[in-house]
């Protein structure tokens, strides 16, 4: 089967809505029995939605079972009628997202006109499955003190309060690990559809930060942390699920403002003032039933809900202190500079230079004369191309020649400093059999022009309006009381545009000859003495837009057959990522003090080198492809059954099959490392640059991607729930969970080597001579792309995607939980939860690494071949011309390099799709929770855990060879695994909301007087977290 058939199967899922689906996945079920405990078949069970006046009816099976699957969260009332028995009525059923509520009835003999009414809240203990899940309603989210910090309030911040969640050494939900899963490795779901961001593969916590779901948009936020059902997947960690708010029979609305201001902040330790910090999250919401009688007739009812919010921020945490040239320096007068400024025009060889001694004062290879009084003659710089830039540089506002300029106004730290959010939802009930709802979510961020310098020379890149959409459509249809279907589809996209803030001032600066384009001013930087640079190399914003379109459809059919509830379905994902790039086409030009100094002595100044146009280094991007599109597909089939084996025992089993295709470029404009193809410029040795598809002659790879399509993503699930008594359940479960594709840098695994090229030039004369003179233009002694050549990257490196890289990372999860309803409507649980991660995204195994058996050569490994040299230290050159080829590419042809598996490349070749990581997590988790009621909400959780791993995040770039997290050796894999850097063995969290008992409808001051309203409506709320520290890291190499 090829990608073509995956697409076809996905289309069949879209068309055959009656065959596959994803559900609301909440349910109410139970048993109906007579006073002796015998089953009552064919009893009529009626369920009424109190929020929308909708009703559903089923009859009990021969065993007395009934089930209402695929329910939306909300308030319900249940009645049961059976001939010869009194009417049974259960009120106060509050159904949460993805919750399975059990309401069993023991009927009493009597007349049907008599009623047994139960007003106690239905039990919240889970008697149905082994899923570990936690949730919070929109009301609780609104009452909890979620912080406004860098953006509007986010429902996802609630995650840090849950058992099994660790944020390492921070309290940032973005860094959350859930039950030992990877950071950013969760799956995010909004109204039944994944929030995966195209081939970037970001989902979970990242999506909830990119697409903020605020409390006033959320009906409920739920996290499935372990052993969830087969319709959920694409993650080795948790499922983070949001159900948006919808209208009800009552018209409700409100406005709000959440304010953060520095005057309310504490002073930072040692600070004499508070940094400006003004943040506002404000907006309003309205929802209810549409007031049109021609729409709302009988059982046809239509509801609406809308929320509009804005976030505004000014100020920042600090005012950076920068280094700028003084007014005298900008005129060429360096009398304030403590070191001599030398004239590059006087450069000459030192006849007394001793080549056997180190360069330094009195022994320099070259000689130069100092400018008189350290002042460059006006005639030398009056037409300098540096002058237009320096004219916009502000003068110092602090004493000294370094760290002499403090930015006058703090810059907002958040990219979302001026952002609007919109959410709208329409629900339509068509009779008793169909429910359709449409959700639209939109974010719009205005252009951000925050700059440390005047806009004309700003180093910053602005964000073009971030135009994001998340759209959903859901349709539930009841074929019969025992056969239901739910179909949905979703679209998600995030448009990001970045550009040089000074792009509108191109006419105020010189255009450097020979660059690729001149749509923005060039970038100027300084390699020494801390001077801040000018300009930005991002380029025109219209040519730097990235989108990540995602189209997903899912279907699930639920069939209740006796004591079985079968669910079978599927899912199709069309994943994209569209890139537009125009950065650095105007060039980046670096200046250093060495061009007006000498090696070995304190001399020179980078501003002086800039005035004299002595370029130390420069690079320009030349492109033949500036727009490209990554594409991938995913196809899922799943089956599950909840079998109520008897009144006490429920067994859940199922299977999920995940198929993810490797990413391709839409037009095959894509290149990568082929470890088996012959390299014509390396003596035919294996290892070359290959080009996707069949359009590039001998350089073609012959396939659109390097990986093999993997078909073995079968993930079984098993759960057992046993009712020890009517208030206590014992549950255990096991499951396998495959995740989606991840590529380092979240770029979809794309590469354009051979199509585009970054051309660079560096200093001459051992570093003191210029690469070129700025006014003479960028040198043209190079060949421009394209280079459709298997040897194009010889001496350098390129992207590598391993052939086996499409084998999916997976986890095995198991748990054992005892849950009991306690006095005061509190539900307590004790759990053992474990997670074993295998083949996790990693950067641990470069294939072009030196075998340890060669280390016996010792320091001889560092010996360098000379061009034409056939042998060195007993090691032969890999092929003729090898040393010269590597030197031309800037790579040292050392003995160690000659002994590598691919000596023609100067890179380790760590696969972007490497899946070699492993993790092991064990924990004991304790929780006590009281749902909001009688004026009180409470959640307390304690986790005692241990995580051993060799990877951190879904982004393999975070699991690198650098720094404290670095890998040790690809030949000693076992040494890479140890206690996780962010392992936190003890975490205790608590949160509560308590409504003070004052005001109308409460215990005290209950009259409807002005004073009662003044003292009423107040609440006390708290979020608190205590945790142990993270490990102290020691390395042994």
Q: What is the pLDDT of residues 597-613, one digit of tens each?
A: 999 999 999 999 999 99
In a domain, 861, yes or no: yes
Both tokens assigned to 710:
């993997």
**Segment 747-770 mean pLDDT:** 94
Question: Tell me: the pLDDT tens digits for 468-522?
Answer: 999 999 999 999 888 999 999 999 998 877 777 888 899 999 989 999 998 889 9
Query: Nearest to residue 287, comparing CAs of 401, 439, 184?
Result: 439
Both tokens assigned to 751:
């590469």
What string of DSSP letters covers 939-974?
A: EEEEEEEEEEES--BSSGGGS-SSSTT----TT-GG
* Reported confidence tier of residue 154, pLDDT bands at 50, 70, 90: confident
Predicted confidence (pLDDT) at residue 2 exceeds the cutoff of 60: no
Contact between 1031 and 1017 (Cβ < 8 Å): no
**Segment 911-917 mean pLDDT:** 92
User: b vs e for 252-283, b when ≥16 Cβ sit within 10 Å of the residue's Cβ?
Assistant: eeeeeebeeebeeeeeeeeeeeebbbebbbeb
Contact between 956 and 842 (Cβ < 8 Å): yes
pLDDT of residue 415: 62
In a domain, 199, yes or no: no
Domain C-terminal end among 840, 871, 898 = 898
Prediction pTM value: 0.88
pLDDT of residue 743: 83
Question: Tell me: the pLDDT tens digits for 77-119?
Answer: 999 998 888 889 888 888 887 788 888 888 888 776 677 777 6
Both tokens assigned to 260:
């953060």
User: b vs e for 523-561, b when ≥16 Cβ sit within 10 Å of the residue's Cβ?
Assistant: bbbbebbebbbbbbbbbbbebbbbbbbbbbbbbbbbbbe
pLDDT of residue 716: 98
Q: What is the DSSP letter of 153?
A: -
Question: Tell me: the pLDDT tens digits for 560-581?
Answer: 998 999 999 999 999 999 998 8
**Segment 337-366 mean pLDDT:** 95
Domain span including residue 857? 852-898
Domain C-terminal end among 621, 639, 668 = 621
Under 8 Å CB-to-CB from 560, ≥6 apart: which residues? 58, 61, 67, 69, 481, 482, 483, 566
pLDDT of residue 16: 41
Contact between 256 and 216 (Cβ < 8 Å): yes
pLDDT of residue 745: 74
pLDDT of residue 432: 82
Cis peptide before 468 (omega within 30 of 0): no
What string of DSSP letters covers 813-861?
A: EEEEEEEEEETTTEEEEEEEEEEEEEEEE-----SS---GGGGGGGGGG
* Reported confidence tier of residue 955, pLDDT bands at 50, 70, 90: confident
Q: What is the DSSP letter of 183?
A: B
Q: What is the DSSP letter of 298?
A: T
Q: What is the DSSP letter of 1037?
A: -
Please state the domain count of the chain. Answer: 3
**Segment 814-834 mean pLDDT:** 95
Question: Tell me: the pLDDT tens digits for 447-471?
Answer: 666 778 888 998 877 665 578 999 9
> Tokens 């995740």 label which residue?
739
In a domain, 283, yes or no: no
Both tokens assigned to 24:
């609301």
Among 51-60, 198-207, 421-430, the range with the most confident prediction by mean pLDDT is 421-430
Q: What is the DSSP letter of 82?
A: -
**Segment 809-823 mean pLDDT:** 96
In a domain, 977, yes or no: no
pLDDT of residue 767: 93
In a domain, 395, yes or no: yes
Beta pairing class for 875-876 and 871-872: antiparallel
Domain C-terminal end among 898, 914, 931 = 898
pLDDT of residue 272: 65
CATH code of the domain covering residue 90: 2.60.40.1120
361/602 Cα distance (integer angstroms)? 9
Predicted confidence (pLDDT) at residue 902 exceeds the cutoff of 80: yes
Question: Tell me: the pLDDT tens digits for 600-649?
Answer: 999 999 999 999 999 999 999 999 999 999 999 999 999 999 999 998 99
In a domain, 832, yes or no: no
What's the mean pLDDT when you consider all of the chain? Answer: 89
634/199 Cα distance (integer angstroms)? 11
Please state the φ and ψ torsions of residue 186, each to the nearest 5 degrees.
Answer: -80, 170
pLDDT of residue 475: 96
In a domain, 638, yes or no: no
pLDDT of residue 448: 64
Q: Over pLDDT 90: what percentage of the chain?
A: 60
Question: Tell me: the pLDDT tens digits for 972-1027?
Answer: 888 888 899 889 999 999 998 888 888 887 878 777 777 777 877 788 888 899 99
Q: Over pLDDT 70: what percentage of the chain?
A: 92
Contact between 488 and 470 (Cβ < 8 Å): no
1004/272 Cα distance (integer angstroms)? 45
Under 8 Å CB-to-CB from 473, ≥6 apart: which residues? 436, 437, 438, 439, 488, 489, 490
60/33 Cα distance (integer angstroms)? 10
**What does R_g of the chain's alpha carbons equal in angstroms?**
34
Both tokens assigned to 785:
């792309």
In a domain, 12, yes or no: yes
User: b vs e for 727-740, b when ≥16 Cβ sit within 10 Å of the residue's Cβ?
Assistant: eebbbbbbbbbbbb
Cα dihedral 872, 876, 877, 880 sign = positive
Query: Nearest to residue 488, comparing CAs of 193, 247, 746?
Result: 193
Question: Tell me: the pLDDT tens digits for 379-438?
Answer: 999 999 999 999 999 999 999 999 999 988 776 655 667 889 999 999 998 888 899 999
> Tokens 């020649």 label which residue?
401
pLDDT of residue 964: 46
pLDDT of residue 23: 42
């Amino acid at each position: 089967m090829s990608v073509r058939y995956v697409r076809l199967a996905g289309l069949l899922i879209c068309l055959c809505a009656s065959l596959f689906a994803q559900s609301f996945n909440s349910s109410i079920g139970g048993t109906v029995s007579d006073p002796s405990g015998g089953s009552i078949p064919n009893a009529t069970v009626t369920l009424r939605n109190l929020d929308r006046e909708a009703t559903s009816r089923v009859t009990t099976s021969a065993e007395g079972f009934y089930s209402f699957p695929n329910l939306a969260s909300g308030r319900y009332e249940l009645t049961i009628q059976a001939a010869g028995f009194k009417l049974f009525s259960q009120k106060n059923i509050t159904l949460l997202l993805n919750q399975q509520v059990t309401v069993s009835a023991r009927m009493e003999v009597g007349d049907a006109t008599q009623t047994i009414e139960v007003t106690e809240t239905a039990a919240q203990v889970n008697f149905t499955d082994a899923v570990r899940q936690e949730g919070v309603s929109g009301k609780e989210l609104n009452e909890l003190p979620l912080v406004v910090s860098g953006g509007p309030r986010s429902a996802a911040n609630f995650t840090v309060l849950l058992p099994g969640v660790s944020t390492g050494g921070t309290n940032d939900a973005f860094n959350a690990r859930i039950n030992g899963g990877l950071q950013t490795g969760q799956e995010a779901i909004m109204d039944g559809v994944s929030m995966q961001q195209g081939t970037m593969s970001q989902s979970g916590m990242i999506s909830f930060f990119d697409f903020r779901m605020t409390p006033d948009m959320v009906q409920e936020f739920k996290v499935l942390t372990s052993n969830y059902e087969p319709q959920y997947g694409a993650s080795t960690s948790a499922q983070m699920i949001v159900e948006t708010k919808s209208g009800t029979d009552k018209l409700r609305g409100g406005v709000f403002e959440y304010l953060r201001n520095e005057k309310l902040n504490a002073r930072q330790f040692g600070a004499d003032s508070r940094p400006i910090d003004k943040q506002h999250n404000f907006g309003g919401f309205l929802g209810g039933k549409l007031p049109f009688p021609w729409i709302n007739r009988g059982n046809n009812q239509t509801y609406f809900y809308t929320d509009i919010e804005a976030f505004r921020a000014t100020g920042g945490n600090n005012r950076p202190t920068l280094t700028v040239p003084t007014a005298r320096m900008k005129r060429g007068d360096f009398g304030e500079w403590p070191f001599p400024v030398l004239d590059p025009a006087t450069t000459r060889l030192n006849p007394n230079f001793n080549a056997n001694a180190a360069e330094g004062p009195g022994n320099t290879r070259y000689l130069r004369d100092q400018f008189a009084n350290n002042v460059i003659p006006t005639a030398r710089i009056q037409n300098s191309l540096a002058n237009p830039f320096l004219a916009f540089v502000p003068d110092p506002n602090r004493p000294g020649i370094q760290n002499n300029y403090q930015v006058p106004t703090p810059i907002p730290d958040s990219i979302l400093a001026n952002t609007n959010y919109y959410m709208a939802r329409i629900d339509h009930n068509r009779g008793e059999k169909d429910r359709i709802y449409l959700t639209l979510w939109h974010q719009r961020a205005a252009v951000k022009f925050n700059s440390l310098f005047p806009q004309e020379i700003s180093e910053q890149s602005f964000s073009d309006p971030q135009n994001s959409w998340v759209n959903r459509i859901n349709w539930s249809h009841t074929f019969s009381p025992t056969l239901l279907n739910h179909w949905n589809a979703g679209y998600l996209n995030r448009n990001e545009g970045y550009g040089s803030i000074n792009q509108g001032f191109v006419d105020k600066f010189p255009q450097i000859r020979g660059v690729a384009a001149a749509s923005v001013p060039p970038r100027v930087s300084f390699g020494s003495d801390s001077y801040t640079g000018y300009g930005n190399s991002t380029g025109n914003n219209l040519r730097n837009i990235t989108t990540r379109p995602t189209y997903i459809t899912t279907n699930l059919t639920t069939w209740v057959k006796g004591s079985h509830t079968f669910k079978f379905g599927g899912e199709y994902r069309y994943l994209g990522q569209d890139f537009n790039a125009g950065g650095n086409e105007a060039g980046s030009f670096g200046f250093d003090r060495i061009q007006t100094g000498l090696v070995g002595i304190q001399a020179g100044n980078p501003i002086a080198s800039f005035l004299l146009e002595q370029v130390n280094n420069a690079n320009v991007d030349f492109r033949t492809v500036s727009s490209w599109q990554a594409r991938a597909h995913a196809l899922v089939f799943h089956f599950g059954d909840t079998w109520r084996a008897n009144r006490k025992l429920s067994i859940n089993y199922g299977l999920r099959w995940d198929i993810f295709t490797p990413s391709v470029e839409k037009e095959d404009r894509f290149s990568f490392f082929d470890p088996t193809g012959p390299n014509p410029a390396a003596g035919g040795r294996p290892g070359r640059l290959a080009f996707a598809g069949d359009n590039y002659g001998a350089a073609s790879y012959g396939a659109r991607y390097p990986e093999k399509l993997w078909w073995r993503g079968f993930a079984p699930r098993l759960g057992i729930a046993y009712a020890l008594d009517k208030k206590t359940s014992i549950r255990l479960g096991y499951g396998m969970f495959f995740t989606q594709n991840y590529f380092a840098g979240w770029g979809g695994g794309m590469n354009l080597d051979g199509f585009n090229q970054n051309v660079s030039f560096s200093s001459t004369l051992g570093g003191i001579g210029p690469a070129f003179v700025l006014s003479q233009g960028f040198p043209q002694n190079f060949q421009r792309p394209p280079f459709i050549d298997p040897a194009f990257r010889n001496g350098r490196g390129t992207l590598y995607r391993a052939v086996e890289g499409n084998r999916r990372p997976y986890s095995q999860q198991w748990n054992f939980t005892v849950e009991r309803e306690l006095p005061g409507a509190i539900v307590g649980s004790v759990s053992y939860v474990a997670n074993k991660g295998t083949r996790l995204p990693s950067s641990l195994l470069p294939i072009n690494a030196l075998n340890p058996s060669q280390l016996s050569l010792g320091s001889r490994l560092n010996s360098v071949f000379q061009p034409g040299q056939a042998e060195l230290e007993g090691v032969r050159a890999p092929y003729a011309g090898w040393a010269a080829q590597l030197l031309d590419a800037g790579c040292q042809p050392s003995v160690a390099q000659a002994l590598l598996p691919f000596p023609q490349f100067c890179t380790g070749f760590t696969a972007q799709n490497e899946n070699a990581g492993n993790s092991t997590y064990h924990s004991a988790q304790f929780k006590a929770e009281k749902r909001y009621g009688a004026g009180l909400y409470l959640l307390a959780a304690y986790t005692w855990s241990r995580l051993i791993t060799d990877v951190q995040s879904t982004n393999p770039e975070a699991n690198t060879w650098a720094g404290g997290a670095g890998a040790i050796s690809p030949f000693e894999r076992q040494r890479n695994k140890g206690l996780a850097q962010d392992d936190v063995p003890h975490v205790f969290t608590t949160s509560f909301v308590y409504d003070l008992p004052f005001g109308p409808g409460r215990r005290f001051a209950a009259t409807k007087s002005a004073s009662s309203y003044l003292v009423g409506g107040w609440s006390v709320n708290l979020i608190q977290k205590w945790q142990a520290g993270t490990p102290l890291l020691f390395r042994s190499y």
